[in-house]
Amino acid sequence: MKMAMRAALRCLSVNFSPRLPQLSSAAQVSATRLLCRSGAPRTLSTTSGQCTALKFTEKHEWVLVESGIGTVGISNYAQEALGDVVYCGLPEVGQKLEQLDECGALESVKAASELYSPLTGEVTAINTELAENPGLVNKSCYADGWLIKMTIERPEELDRLMDQPAYDKFIKSLEE
């Protein structure tokens, strides 16, 4: 079992945003959770410290926290609903955001969809790959298609977001 896990994890790249192999969205999320368990092997040089499982907002954004920094992206449900993304309008590094602030828009053939900040904090990084390759949001919404990184000024906001099972339930209720 250990060998299988190491093999699976070896596929993941060593930088902070892991490149996940082609997995279904559920498996993608489980793999990320594997990555974040404190027992991750040293071949994976992630920054030290705990990270939490994915949390979700009602606007279909996800947040993954590691060492006090939250990486934000949109869920598979959202990217499917959006259609092919042609432009990512993101906030600036250094921009201070309140939870639910409009902080940009993703433009697809379907519409310009407003992005809302999932948390209160300051933007520390934006995914510059998306300028040349906005389709990453569709192809790899939980990994290479991440949108921004931000500080977490109010951890209690994070606690109030949905975990994976709650989000899955939420999606089901929307589809009815």
Joined tokens for residue 2:
């250990």
Closest approach, Cβ 123 to other proteins, in A, equals: 14
Among 17, 32, 113, 117, binds other proteins (CB under 8 A): 113
Which residue from 69, 113, 57 is spatially nearest to 87, judged by alpha carbons?
A: 113
Listed as own residue / partner, the contacts of 103-107 with beta carbons closer than 8 Å and 24 or more positions apart are 103/148, 104/147, 106/74, 106/82, 106/134, 106/137
Which residue from 45, 55, 49 is spatially nearest to 16, judged by alpha carbons?
A: 45
Closest approach, Cβ 82 to other proteins, in A, equals: 9
CA distance 135 to 141: 9
Closest approach, Cβ 118 to other proteins, in A, equals: 13
Pattern 42-81, other proteins, x by CB under 8 A? -----------------x----------------------
Pattern 76-105, other proteins, x by CB under 8 A? ----------xx-x--x------------x
Pattern 4-33, other proteins, x by CB under 8 A? ------------------------------
Question: Looking at this protein, which amino acid is placed at residue 125?
Answer: A
CA distance 92 to 162: 26
Residues that bind other proteins (CB under 8 A): 59, 86-87, 89, 92, 105, 107-108, 110-114, 116, 131-132
